[in-house]
Amino acid sequence: MNKDLSLIEPGILNIGVDASAPLPLHSDPNLPDFEGFEVDLIKSVAAQLGVSVHYKNALWSKLIDDLLQGRVDMICTAATITEERKGILDFSQPYLDIKLALVTRKGSPIKTLADIRDHVVGVRVATSAEDFIRRHAQIKSTRAFDMNTEAYKTLQAGEVDSVIDDLPIARAFATSTPGLELAGTIPGTNAQYAMMFRKGNDGLRRAVDDALAKLQADGTYAEISQKWLNQSSAAFPGQFETPARETMIARSWHGRVPASKAEAYYTYLLRTGLNDYRTTPGNLGVFVFRRNEGDITHYLLTTLWESYDAIRAFAGPDYERARYYPEDDEYLLEREPFVTHYEVLRSVRSI
């Protein structure tokens, strides 16, 4: 077990979760059959860290205070990465892409965000959905709820006209609540879920990131995603998506590592370079290719960018030069000093 985790209780990972079950991320934490995507994910992370897990539940509006006051070690409960939260907390690498969605009663004329003008909209208290609706939508009024079930039952009863929520949660409740349907997603609301930590608890955060990278590398993440989200992709958010645009710049780099270090290097790559790419403005995707050749393993890393300006913002003015990390010397046989750029003329999705 890593001795630098700085846990509240030695050997026990105390995790804050939402008392209002955000299905399918997790069910009601007060029930004996507590389960869900994040429950399986945390179970696998804890096994990597060699610790047991204890959950503490509270209303979402109180959870961050529990973390800041040291009552839990971390939060894993459909927590969206936002700039405001980054100011007071640290995040793990993201583990799920999301966007906001609109749920209505079946047969409702409300189909898009533009249709909710002059209507009553329900949201959860202190969520990114509440923040979005107050900033961007012109509506008659908003009703904020502490509990997911309360919001959707109120919609079902006709007391609000729609509910805006994160897509995985919206889909689960629209499917399980009679009379409701998922009207669609809201453009421009792409976001990501990640685990939250107190600032300065870098030992725990890095250990969790390393564990998440290993779960992706060994296929565990893909299995959990398929089980709970019906998603078979083995990739973490943004890593292997083909961008829906015609003009972009591809940046390619080639490196070699000893075959004996290939898996360790891939895990390291997920934690460092790939994680940095995903969080850089203007990055549209990352592709990693690998080829074994006897005792040598070749890696080809290709990233896609909106423009050369975005690449310069990431790599600096000498953007033709490859960007390396100090720890790279532990794995790489040689440092290729330069990258190659290509203009992507056309991108066609076949699946």
Please give the pLDDT value at position 196. 97
Question: Considering only CA atoms, which of 8, 89, 44, 12 is closest in space to residue 208?
Answer: 44
pTM score of the predicted model = 0.71
Please give the pLDDT value at position 234. 44
Please give the pLDDT value at position 242. 41
CB-based contacts of 156: which residues, under 8 Å, 6+ apart?
105, 177, 178, 179, 180
Residue stretches of the chain with pLDDT short of 50: 1, 233-235, 238-246, 348-351
Please give the pLDDT value at position 134. 84
Please give the pLDDT value at position 2. 52
CB 327: neighbour CB atoms within 10 A?
A: 11
| Complete domains list, the chain, with CATH | 12-96+191-229 (3.40.190.10), 100-185 (3.40.190.10), 248-344 (3.30.70.100)
